[in-house]
C-alpha cells in the first residue's frame, strides 16, 4: 500500500519520508518537498517560537511562495500548495496576536524613516545656507566593504569600470548607514561628511612554501564620517505661527507703513 506523492504522483518509497506543509493533507515525497521545504520548515518552527518576528516569517514566506510558483508543479498542484502555504501563514499570525500590528507599525516606521532619510541634508561643510544648527549630537559613521576576486576583476577589460562601480556601491551603502545613524540620534542632517577608504591587499607568502606568493581577493572598505546635527530652517517658526504682525513689522522696517499704522494694525488684530 504505497502512498503516492501529491505533486509527482510517484510512490513514496519506504525510505522516503512523507512531508507536508503543516496542517495540509497533501503528502509529498522528499524530492518534491525539497523545492520549498527548507523555508517551510523554518516557518513551521516559527509558529511556536516566541521570539519569532513577522518580518522574518514573511521573508521566508515570500521565498517559499516564489519557489512553489516557479517549481515544475502541475497548475492544480501548485494552487493547492499555495493554499497550504497560505494556511500556514494564517496559523502563524493567529498564534502571534501581536504580529499584524507589528507589521503595520513597522511599515509606518519604515516609511517615516525613509521619508526622513530622503529629506536629510548632508554636507562636507559645517553649515547649511538658510538653516540654523540647533543641536549637535556627535560623531557618527557608516561603512561598507566589498570583496573583489582578482580573476573576475582584473582579467576583465573593464577594470576601471568595475572599480568605479564597486566604489559607488559601497559609498552609497556607507552614506545610507551614516544617515540612519543620524536618524537614530533624532537628527535631520549631517555636517562635515567625508570618506575614508581602505584597500586591503593581502599579498603574502604561502605558509607552505615561502617562495610562493599568494594573492587573496582585494577588499575595499569605505567609511563615511560626519557629525549628526539638528537643523531648523531660518524663518520656519515665523511661517508656522503665521503671525501677520511680522509682515507689518517688515513693512514698518522698510518704511512702507508708519508706526501709527502699525499700532493700528496691532489693535485690529489683537
Ligand atoms: Zn514527489
Q: Give yes or no: residues 77 and 31 share one domain.
A: yes
* C-alpha of residue 39 to centroid of ligand 1, in Å: 17
Q: Give yes or no: residues 201 and 177 share one domain.
A: yes
Q: Give yes or no: residues 5 and 111 share one domain.
A: yes
- The boundaries of the domain holding residue 250 are 242-269
Q: What is the pLDDT of residue 241?
A: 42
Place of cell 532619510: 117
* C-alpha of residue 13 to centroid of ligand 1, in Å: 10
* C-alpha of residue 28 to centroid of ligand 1, in Å: 5
Q: Give yes or no: residues 33 and 51 share one domain.
A: yes
* C-alpha of residue 86 to centroid of ligand 1, in Å: 20
pLDDT per residue as tens digits for the range 207-230: 788 788 887 888 889 999 999 999
pLDDT per residue as tens digits for the range 12-56: 887 777 788 877 889 998 889 988 988 999 999 999 998 999 888
* Total domains present in the chain: 3
* C-alpha of residue 177 to centroid of ligand 1, in Å: 45
Distance CA 222, CA 163 (A): 13
Q: Give yes or no: residues 32 and 111 share one domain.
A: yes
* C-alpha of residue 231 to centroid of ligand 1, in Å: 62
Residues 40, 85 contacting (CB under 8 angstroms): yes
Q: Give yes or no: residues 252 and 214 share one domain.
A: no
Q: Give yes or no: residues 88 and 112 share one domain.
A: yes
* C-alpha of residue 19 to centroid of ligand 1, in Å: 10
pTM of the model: 0.57
Q: Give yes or no: residues 20 and 81 share one domain.
A: yes
* C-alpha of residue 92 to centroid of ligand 1, in Å: 26
* C-alpha of residue 6 to centroid of ligand 1, in Å: 6
Backbone angles phi, psi at 207, to 5 degrees: -70, -25
Q: Give yes or no: residues 50 and 68 share one domain.
A: yes
* C-alpha of residue 12 to centroid of ligand 1, in Å: 7
Q: Give yes or no: residues 247 and 155 share one domain.
A: no
CATH of the domain at 207: 3.30.110.70
Question: By three-state DSSP, how is residue 218 classified?
Answer: strand
Query: What number of CA atoms fall less than 13 Å from residue 213's CA on the CB side?
Result: 4
* C-alpha of residue 35 to centroid of ligand 1, in Å: 10
Over its length of 270 residues, how does the chain's per-residue pLDDT go in tens digits? 578 899 999 988 877 777 888 778 899 988 899 889 889 999 999 999 989 998 889 889 999 999 999 988 999 999 999 999 999 999 999 999 988 778 777 777 777 788 889 889 999 999 999 999 999 999 999 999 988 777 665 566 677 787 888 889 999 999 999 999 999 999 999 999 999 998 887 777 777 887 888 878 888 899 999 999 999 998 865 444 455 667 777 787 888 877 667 777 766 765
Q: Which of 119, 150, 169 is the last residue of a domain?
A: 119
* C-alpha of residue 30 to centroid of ligand 1, in Å: 7
Q: Give yes or no: residues 229 and 155 share one domain.
A: yes
Q: What is the pLDDT of residue 20?
A: 83
Q: Which of 119, 146, 162 is the last residue of a domain?
A: 119
Q: Which of 60, 85, 119 is the last residue of a domain?
A: 119
* C-alpha of residue 268 to centroid of ligand 1, in Å: 85
Q: Give yes or no: residues 130 and 174 share one domain.
A: yes
Distance CA 151, CA 170 (A): 20
Amino acid at each position: 500500500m504505497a502512498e503516492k506523492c501529491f505533486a509527482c504522483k510517484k510512490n513514496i518509497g519506504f525510505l522516503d519520508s512523507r512531508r507536508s506543509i503543516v496542517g495540509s493533507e497533501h503528502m509529498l515525497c522528499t524530492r518534491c518537498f525539497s523545492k520549498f521545504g527548507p523555508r517551510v520548515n523554518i516557518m513551521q518552527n516559527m509558529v511556536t517560537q516566541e521570539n519569532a518576528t513577522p518580518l522574518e516569517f514573511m521573508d521566508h514566506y515570500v521565498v517559499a511562495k516564489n519557489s512553489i510558483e516557479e517549481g515544475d508543479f502541475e497548475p492544480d498542484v501548485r494552487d493547492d500548495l499555495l493554499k497550504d502555504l497560505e494556511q500556514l501563514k494564517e496559523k502563524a499570525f493567529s498564534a502571534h496576536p501581536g504580529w499584524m500590528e507589528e507589521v503595520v507599525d513597522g511599515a509606518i516606521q519604515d516609511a517615516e524613516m525613509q521619508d526622513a532619510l530622503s529629506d536629510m541634508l548632508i554636507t562636507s561643510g559645517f553649515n547649511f545656507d538658510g538653516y540654523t544648527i540647533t543641536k549637535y549630537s556627535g560623531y557618527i559613521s557608516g561603512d561598507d566593504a566589498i570583496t573583489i576576486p582578482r580573476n573576475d576583476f582584473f582579467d576583465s577589460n573593464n577594470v576601471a569600470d568595475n572599480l568605479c562601480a564597486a566604489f559607488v556601491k559601497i559609498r552609497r551603502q556607507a552614506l545610507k548607514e551614516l544617515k540612519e545613524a543620524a536618524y537614530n540620534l533624532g537628527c535631520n542632517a549631517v555636517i562635515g561628511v567625508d570618506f575614508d577608504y581602505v584597500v586591503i591587499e593581502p599579498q603574502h607568502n604561502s605558509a607552505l612554501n615561502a617562495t610562493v606568493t599568494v594573492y587573496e581577493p582585494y577588499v575595499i572598505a569605505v567609511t563615511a564620517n560626519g557629525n549628526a546635527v539638528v537643523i531648523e530652517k531660518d524663518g520656519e517658526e515665523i511661517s508656522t505661527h503665521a503671525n501677520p504682525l511680522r509682515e507689518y513689522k517688515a513693512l514698518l522696517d522698510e518704511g512702507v507703513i508708519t508706526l501709527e499704522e502699525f499700532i493700528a494694525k496691532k489693535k485690529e488684530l489683537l
